[in-house]
Amino acid sequence: MIREFAAGVGTLLRGFALWRTRPGLLAWGLIPAVISFLLLAALLIPLAFSLGAITAWMTPFADGWVSGWRDALRIALGIVLFVAGAVLSALVFTALTLTIGDPFYQRIWREVERSLGGPEPTGETGFWATVGEGLRLVVLGALIALLTLVLGLIPVVGGVLATVVGVLLSGRLLARELTGRAFDARGLSRHDRARLLASGRARVLGFGVATQLCFMVPLGAVITMPAAVAGSTMLARALTERAAVGSTTPAAPGA
């Protein structure tokens, strides 16, 4: 499992390697990423500066506490709120960027498919299907952010638990969304897509978690997004080919 998880992280690193070998190709993906980043930054920066007032509003019962305990509580709550916001913003960023930048990312994943060799899938994702997937991602992201916030309220371990759970769940969701184009191009149904993702659960999680952590770095989402699209194409190809090999392997004698 650890080896597969590391392989998922390595898939994202292979996507990053294209910044060295194919910078012109990945640069196309910066355009929608920058637009989405600026839109979200306009919302997140005021939130960051308002955390003190928000935590004070949420904890009026602590006004009479000793200053040290009161400040510790509100700082911890502010961290939890920031983590929940970061988790949600990463998923909203992905949904928004993939929707407005679909023509750019279609070009990236097709070039990656060609570079991998073999038959090139020819299907496409319709615009409204892309919008629908984006809305689904935002809704699920809001639920994950809410769960992260609730877990963060657990005394002592809440902050760490909320961060770990938030990154794991949002990472898996990111990987599912990013591989969607490559799977759609192969004409795979929702059931077949879920089966493939389940067959490489640890690898998918490694790719998604690595992507999520990069997204949480300031400006990291902008640079990572094109690499993540390229890496998700490699991931989808690897899962599809492994499933094909498994389905054609002769059964053992006596099986």
Q: What's the pLDDT tens digit per position in 53-112?
A: 888 888 888 888 888 888 888 888 888 888 888 788 888 888 888 888 878 888 888 888
Q: What is the pTM of this model?
A: 0.81
- Which string of DSSP letters, residue by residue, matches the chain? -HHHHHHHHHHHHHHHHHHHH-HHHHHTTHHHHHHHHHHHHHHHHHHHHTHHHHHHHH-GGGTTS-HHHHHHHHHHHHHHHHHHHHHHHHHHHHHHHHHHTHHHHHHHHHHHHHHH-SPPP-----HHHHHHHHHHHHHHHHHHHHHHHHHHTSTTTHHHHHHHHHHHHHHHHHHHHHTHHHHHHTT--HHHHHHHHHHTHHHHHHHHHHHHHHHTSTTHHHHHHHHHHHHHHHHHHHHHHHHHHHHHSPPPTT-
Structure tokens belonging to residue 228: 């993540």
pLDDT at 245: 64
Q: What's the pLDDT tens digit per position in 106-127?
A: 888 888 888 887 776 766 656 5
Top-ranked range on mean pLDDT: pick from 130-134, 152-156, 202-206, 244-248 = 202-206
pLDDT at 91: 82
pLDDT at 70: 85
Across the chain, mean pLDDT equals 83
The band of 163, judged by pLDDT with boundaries at 50, 70 and 90, is confident
